[in-house]
Amino acid sequence: MATETPGESAWAAAGGRIGPRDLASARVLLDRAAALTTPGADPLAVVAVLRREFPETEPALVGEAATQARLRARAAPRLGPRAEHLVLSDAGLQQASRWAVAAYRAGELHRRLQASGTAASPLVADLGCGLGIDALALAEAGFRVRGVERDPWTAEAAAVNCAGQSGVAIVEGDAIDANLSDCAAAFCDPARRDPGSPLATHGRGRSARVIDPARWSPPWPWVVQVSRVLPMVAKAAPGLRESAVPRDAEREWIEVDGELVECCVWFAPLGDPGVRRATVLIGGTAFTLGSAEPDGVAGAAATADAYLLEPAAAVRRAMLVGALADSLRASGNPVGRIGDWLTGSRDPETAWVRAWQVEEALPRGSRALRDALCGFGPITWKTDAIRESAEAVDRRVGHRPASGGRSATVVMLDDGSAWLARRAPHVARRDGNEVGERFP
């Protein structure tokens, strides 16, 4: 028989509800919940076992421990081993930065502030700090951090999560009212979910995404206003429209392991005016490419060569396909451009592209293409999702997978051509285009 007694929490004192400090103090219970929460485990069965093994523990605490175990398991790919020791919420986890991105951004902020002559160990405000993930990364990068979070439960969770990290203070309050007079810079990750939509208890359930930046918390216009008096870097959704960003700011689209995760806005004087930057993080290595020039199509339109090269999503969103083509040519990889794809005679083996080896040309037109694919199993369609999504192509062509047929990938290019292709395996180069070697 085991018993866990909750620690002292503002939530418990307010009315017996389970708060972050209660959870953090129930280590034995949390460890047991984690051990039971294996892939495919029934959540109700986990709670039942915990109730039997911890009969004198408050049932609400047992239920919350089981929820924490599920959240930590879900957070592991995003946060790594740190997830095992954090107090999490569903809504907070949806907004939280991936640890690789938080660490990269904190290091980049440190580099840019040092370049501007800022003193060592400056104080940085983390406005809307959420669960404290970015605050931890900023502290590890050498900053003193003041995190500000208006949701009481989340603020307490951030305080618990940052308790072991020196130089971090969490303040409960609205970012708009925060004292910034002694700060050297600020980081802001506005909440992009509607607090008025249905939420689970204590705001820990899923909520609706807010598209309009003026309705973010804090509002994006306020973030822009503060950037005029304090060096500021802000995290936003990848689809942030260009008109929402001042012309003297730099936009950086960040991709992690093939997934486009955010648009980072470096306001003046931290950013290079008008520059669009793409950064790809792979296995702890950062590759970055930037330009302020329009993304023009250089030379005549190309025809597909032996390899079709799919630029990283960050490159396409930053409108840097032309700059990438120039960079590849400069490094000895002659390529042509077809819409937002590149093509060449060999795989350049770089983090910037996925290479697809052409197997054969396919006929144009939905019916002819359907006939040509007869006998194949499932088809993966690669398209320019802005013009026509893979789902739309699948509906238009109407391919019916044949039982026992081999799966295949079909690349649909902007010139209307279709190609049967297979992924070319390669290891991304680590000898160039890394942080510190910038274009421009």
Q: What percent of the chain has pLDDT over 90?
A: 74
pLDDT at 116: 81
Confidence of residue 383 (pLDDT cuts 50, 70, 90): confident
Between 46-60, 177-191, 296-310, 380-394, the lowest mean confidence (pLDDT) is in 296-310
Pairing mode, strands 408-412 and 379-382? parallel
pLDDT of residue 156 exceeding 80, the answer is yes
pLDDT of residue 194 exceeding 90, the answer is no
Q: What is the pLDDT of residues 161-186, one digit of tens each?
A: 999 999 999 999 999 999 999 999 99
Q: Give mean pLDDT, residues 321-328.
A: 93
Contact 73, 79 (CB under 8 A): no
Cα–Cα distance, 217 to 223 (Å, whole number): 10
**Among 263, 237, 238, which residue's Cα sits nearest to residue 251?**
263
Confidence of residue 10 (pLDDT cuts 50, 70, 90): low
Task: Give whole-number Cα distances, 52 to 15, 35, 42, in Å.
Answer: 26, 15, 16
pLDDT of residue 7 exceeding 60, the answer is no
Query: Which residue in the block uniquely carries the two structure tokens 């062509």?
Result: 397
What lies within 8 Å, CB to CB, of 161 at 6+ separation is 85, 86, 87, 131, 132, 133, 136
Contact 65, 46 (CB under 8 A): no
pLDDT at 414: 83
In this structure, the number of other CB atoms found within 10 A of the CB of residue 48 comes to 14
Q: Give mean pLDDT, residues 63-69.
A: 96
Q: What percent of the chain has pLDDT over 70?
A: 87
Query: Which residue in the block uniquely carries the two structure tokens 């739309």?
Result: 392
Q: Which residues pair with 187 in a beta bridge?
A: 126, 233
Better-scored residue on pLDDT, 206 or 154: 154
Q: What is the pLDDT of residues 83-142, one digit of tens each?
A: 999 999 999 999 999 999 999 999 999 999 988 877 667 999 999 999 999 999 999 999
Contact 103, 136 (CB under 8 A): no
pLDDT at 203: 44
pLDDT at 268: 95
Q: How many CA atoms does the CB half-sphere of 95 hold within 13 Å? A: 29
Q: What are 1's two structure tokens?
A: 């028989």
pLDDT at 9: 56
pLDDT of residue 239 exceeding 60, the answer is yes
First to last CA, the chain: 64
pLDDT of residue 357 exceeding 70, the answer is yes
Cα–Cα distance, 430 to 408 (Å, whole number): 30
Where does 80-151 have alpha helices with state H?
A: 90-95, 99-115, 133-140
Phi, psi of 338 (to 5 degrees): -130, 100
Contact 278, 321 (CB under 8 A): no
Task: Please state the CATH superfamily assignment of the domain spanning residues 94-291 in this structure.
Answer: Vaccinia Virus protein VP39 (3.40.50.150)
Task: Give whole-number Cα distances, 408 to 141, 382, 401, in Å.
Answer: 45, 11, 10
Q: Where is 310: in which H helix or E strand?
A: strand 307-311
Q: What is the mean pLDDT of the chain?
A: 88
Cα–Cα distance, 68 to 191 (Å, whole number): 22
Better-scored residue on pLDDT, 381 or 15: 381
pLDDT of residue 427 exceeding 60, the answer is no
The number of angstroms, rounded, from the C-alpha of 73 to the middle of its chain's C-alpha atoms is 18
Confidence of residue 440 (pLDDT cuts 50, 70, 90): very low
Residues of the chain within CATH 3.40.50.150 domain(s) are 94-291
pLDDT at 377: 95
pTM for the full model?
Answer: 0.87
The number of angstroms, rounded, from the C-alpha of 78 to the middle of its chain's C-alpha atoms is 9
